[in-house]
Amino acid sequence: MWSKIRSSLVGQIRLFFLISFIVMIGLWGFFYLRQKHLQDEHVMARYFSVASSLQPLLLQSFTPSNEELAEYNVKIFTHTLSQEAKRLYHKGDDLKGFSLYEQNRKHILYVYNPIGHIYLEDLEEDYTLSLIHTIFLLLLGIQTLLFVASQKLLRPILEMEQKLKELQKGDLSELCIDSSYKEIRQIENSYNHAIDYIHYLLQTREMFNKIFMHELKTPLAKGMFYLKNEPSAKSHADIKTVFETINSKLDTFRALEELIAHKEDVSKEEHLVQPLLERAISTLHVKQNETIHLHTCEAYVIQGDADLWEICFKNIIDNALRYSDDHCVSIECHDGSILFSNTGMPLPLDISAPIRDWKISHTQKHRSTSGYGFGLFIIKNIVELHGYRLRYHYENHTLFLRIEK
């Protein structure tokens, strides 16, 4: 039990409050008993003084008036002492002395001797005990409010502890804490950003695994087919092409792994766009029925990593040719942007919007055999990594994809 409390911040705070409550109640009892004892001594000394002062007057058969008794803070008790009255104290014998009674929460002093007697009602009120009760009740009330406030402040910590336990079980839902404190909001934001990044990495890993297997299976299947044929210069060239394709894809995956997993800073080196586009086109093995139109890109400059931009342009052009109705794509550089356009169906994802899930819905008409918009994923990440914006627009059966600073 103690080891559990020692290892818990919340448990230690609750223990400290419990100890303070016990100490406060103990002090309350101590001061109450101490003050009550002093008060009882004071009261009895006062009653002795009153009785001693009145005995000579009673022996003279003289009954003092209320005005004369006012200095003793007592008055003549005019009612009859009931049988239910409780005697608290007695001093003297049957002939001379005094007795103290309590009736209806009033103290009645009975002074007597052989000549006369008198009943006096005590008018003095001592608020010291009430003051002690009030002070300690107030302190306990303040302490209770502080305890409630501390539990409210610790509630976000308990919620985060529970959320982290759920995270261990695979729950990647966001943390939502209703708090106005900036530290708690910062923790909440950091946690949610971390969850987004974990979700992003997990989804990217799944996508990479599926795409990697899919992209390598096709050239490997071709290579197995070529191996079954009779050896010839053509089969040798075909197998060489297969290996070059595999090597190219591995290089692409390596570059993308550095881009996505590590988020490395890219260079700010400037490059002419047209040579990058031409190199990207050269790796596509464009078919005879496919056409690429380049317009006014000779002097356009773009900043960043040349290899990554080639991968980006290659995927844009490849998607445009693959899904275009007329197998044509137009590339135009003007107004500080690069515009790619082709006819065909709209993209399965709005690539210009923030995207968390890259899985393509089954309702979308898209010929992705892996179930992911991997090419779009590559395009968007490379563009945004370099600090550029991606604008997607679909109008009149034409797709427009613009890269701008």
Average pLDDT over residues 42-60: 86
Q: Is the pTM of this model over 0.75?
A: no
Closest Cα to residue 207, out of 372, 53, 92?
372
3-state DSSP helix/strand/coil % of the chain, to nearest 5: 55, 20, 30
- H, E, C per residue of 44-111: HHHHHHHHHHHHHHHHCCCCCCHHHHHHHCEEECCCCCCCCCEEEEEEECCCCEEEEEEECCEEEEEE
Q: Which residue has the higher pLDDT, 251 or 134?
A: 134
Average pLDDT over residues 150-160: 82
Q: How would residue 305 be classed by pLDDT, with cut points 50, 70 and 90?
A: confident
In angstroms, the CA 278 to CA 273 distance is 9
Directed axis angle between helix 182-228 and helix 374-385, to 10°? 130
Q: How would residue 372 be classed by pLDDT, with cut points 50, 70 and 90?
A: low
Asked whether residue 264 carries a pLDDT value surpassing 70, the answer given is no
Structure tokens at 384: 């945004």
Q: Which residue has the higher pLDDT, 319 or 215?
A: 319
Burial class (CB in 10 A: 0-12, 13-18, 19+), 242: buried
Tens digits of residue pLDDT in 163-197: 888 888 888 788 888 777 788 888 888 888 888 87
Report pLDDT for 263.
56
Tens digits of residue pLDDT in 105-136: 888 888 999 888 899 888 887 788 888 999 99
Helix (H) or strand (E) holding 112: strand 106-112
Report pLDDT for 357.
67
* Residues 242, 279 contacting (CB under 8 angstroms): no
In angstroms, the CA 124 to CA 137 distance is 25
In angstroms, what CA-CA distances link 156 with 71, 150, 159, 319?
Answer: 64, 11, 5, 48
Closest Cα to residue 312, out of 368, 356, 266?
266
* Residues 190, 163 contacting (CB under 8 angstroms): no
DSSP at 118? E
Asked whether residue 236 carries a pLDDT value surpassing 90, the answer given is no
Report pLDDT for 361.
59
Report pLDDT for 285.
74
In angstroms, the CA 240 to CA 237 distance is 5
Structure tokens at 23: 């100490």
In angstroms, what CA-CA distances link 214 with 106, 323, 359?
Answer: 99, 19, 15
What b/e string do you get for 112-134 counting C-beta neighbours within 10 Å, with b at 16 or more? bbeebebbbbbeeeeeeeeebee
Quick check: helix, strand or coil at residue 297? coil
Q: How would residue 203 be classed by pLDDT, with cut points 50, 70 and 90?
A: confident
Average pLDDT over residues 380-393: 88
Quick check: helix, strand or coil at residue 32? helix
Percentage of the residues of the chain whose pLDDT score is greater than 90: 19
Q: Can you say whether the dihedral through the CA atoms of 296, 302, 305, 308 is positive or negative?
A: negative
Average pLDDT, the chain: 82
DSSP for 310-364 reads HHHHHHHHHHHHHHBSSSEEEEEEETTEEEEEEEBSPPSS-TTS--S--BPPTTS
Which positions ≥6 away from 390 have C-beta within 8 Å? 351, 352, 379, 380, 383, 384, 401, 402, 403
Q: How would residue 259 be classed by pLDDT, with cut points 50, 70 and 90?
A: low
Report pLDDT for 390.
92
Q: Where are the domains of the chain?
A: 2-129, 265-404
Of the chain, the end-to-end C-alpha distance in Å amounts to: 61
Q: Does the domain at residues 265-404 carry the CATH identifier 3.30.565.10?
A: yes
Report pLDDT for 54.
86
Helix (H) or strand (E) holding 303: strand 301-303
Report pLDDT for 341.
94
Tens digits of residue pLDDT in 323-360: 888 889 999 998 889 999 999 888 888 888 887 666 66
Asked whether residue 371 carries a pLDDT value surpassing 70, the answer given is no
Report pLDDT for 62.
86
Which positions ≥6 away from 360 have C-beta within 8 Å? 348, 349, 366, 368, 371, 372, 373
Asked whether residue 368 carries a pLDDT value surpassing 90, the answer given is no
Helix (H) or strand (E) holding 275: helix 273-282
